Structure 1
């Protein structure tokens, strides 16, 4: 599969499951949390509506690394996406991507002054893509054991996401 095809596979997986695990370093601690995202393909980024008072935007801006993890267990596909972080202050954009889920966290709606937008721009991704059939995985494991080889359980690669 070409790098462009892998990129498209990642964007498709992001679109299929819009809640991701976002990891960053805050102070001297690695923090990971689930966050609902909005894909902005036009600007090559993921947008997250978040509370300003939690400090996640500030932490992401100062973190040496921000990562988004996705998984499609039914397809045996996983990716860890390294991103750069920025804050988006466009209130009109906040209104455009507002969802009922966001409304559950912000009862005052998109005009709530505590509502902020975090943008994560993918830079690279490490992917794991294996056979989705458990029968095939079992066969490959058994065959490798019999032959004394390492099992071929798919692709593990790092790709450029820019």
Structure 2
């Protein structure tokens, strides 16, 4: 797990990206699909709307272990989060997170019996954040190639949990 300060750091990195790639196991084979964050804060749990009848629901019922990855190449931010997935039809949470973007995917509205939330309780992860511009990163790579015993210093990398 991570501290409240670290959770805020992770949230700051992913909140504007909004869409993460959710990886589940489909008969033992990793499968990724985009999922859109619906919450306004992060406390160690991520929430995504889904159809109860979606393949990812059946995949997570068979194996709750999932991975989510977020990336923003412009900002040099990359985040990988691993945890356990669980399906919920908690009406209070559905009401809380319902919005026009989600409504576009669920034409029968939030009372559709196929509407559910996928809850991901994050257990561990890793993130990378470039500290400088792309030009500086290219300079670091070129310098490492010239100096043969040096490695490029492209920014921050941190693992947590596990």
TM-score tier after normalising by the smaller chain length: 0.7 to 0.9
Is the contact between residue 75 and residue 132 of structure 1 (CA under 8 Å) also seen in structure 2? Answer: no
Give the length in aligned residue pairs: 160
**Residue 42 of structure 1, CA deviation:** 6.7
Q: 1:9 matched to which residue of 2?
A: 9
**Residue 43 of structure 1, CA deviation:** 5.3
Structure 2: runs of 5+ lacking an equivalent: none
Q: 1:156 matched to which residue of 2?
A: 157
> Which is richer in helix?
1
Is the contact between residue 40 and residue 47 of structure 1 (CA under 8 Å) also seen in structure 2? Answer: no
Is the contact between residue 83 and residue 122 of structure 1 (CA under 8 Å) also seen in structure 2? Answer: yes
Sort the Cα spacing of 1:145 and 1:29 in 2 relative to 1 into closer, same or farther, 3 A. closer
Structure 1: runs of 5+ lacking an equivalent: none
Structure 2: how far apart are the matches of 1:26 and 1:150? 38
Matched, 1:27 2:27: yes
Is the contact between residue 124 and residue 160 of structure 1 (CA under 8 Å) also seen in structure 2? Answer: yes
TM-score by length of 2: 0.86
**Residue 74 of structure 1, CA deviation:** 2.0
**Residue 154 of structure 1, CA deviation:** 2.4
Matched, 1:136 2:132: no
Sort the Cα spacing of 1:156 and 1:44 in 2 relative to 1 into closer, same or farther, 3 A. closer
